[in-house]
Amino acid sequence: MIDLLSDEKKADKLSIKEIILKGTVIAIIVIIPSLSTFFLSWWILDNFLQAVIIGGIIHFIAMGFSLKISRKFFTKNRSS
């Protein structure tokens, strides 16, 4: 196989461990608030459909925050 990337560009790539670790952190940031909101609202309201809707709304809000967090903390700075 032809080595098309220089040594500098290879250093910029994320390793498998970094990808797994960062993906797990983002998944936790998204899933903890949405699941806790879902179960809490289901327990308080005693209505499954309302709990699903509330949990879904919180899930999309958490996805928006996780996008901002991932861009701020998890991207490598590329020089040049």
Looking at the 3D structure of the chain, how many domains does it have? 1
Of the two residues 7 and 32, the one the predictor is more confident about is 32
Between these two residues, 78 and 30, which has the higher pLDDT value?
A: 30
For 66, the enclosing helix (H) or strand (E) is helix 48-73
Of 44, 42, 38, 28, nearest in space to 58 by CA: 38
- Let me know if residue 66 belongs to a domain: yes
State if pTM tops 0.85: no
Whether the pLDDT of residue 14 is over 60: the answer is yes
Residues 26-56: pLDDT tens digits?
A: 899 889 999 999 999 999 999 999 999 999 9
Q: Tell me which residue has tokens 């925050």.
A: 65
User: How far is residue 79's CA from residue 62's CA, in Å, rounded to a whole number?
Assistant: 30
Residue 62 lies in a domain: yes
Residue found under tokens 């699903």: 52
Q: Tell me the C-alpha distance between 80 and 73, whole Å.
A: 20
Asked if the structure places residue 12 within a domain, the reply is no
Domain limits for position 36: 20-73
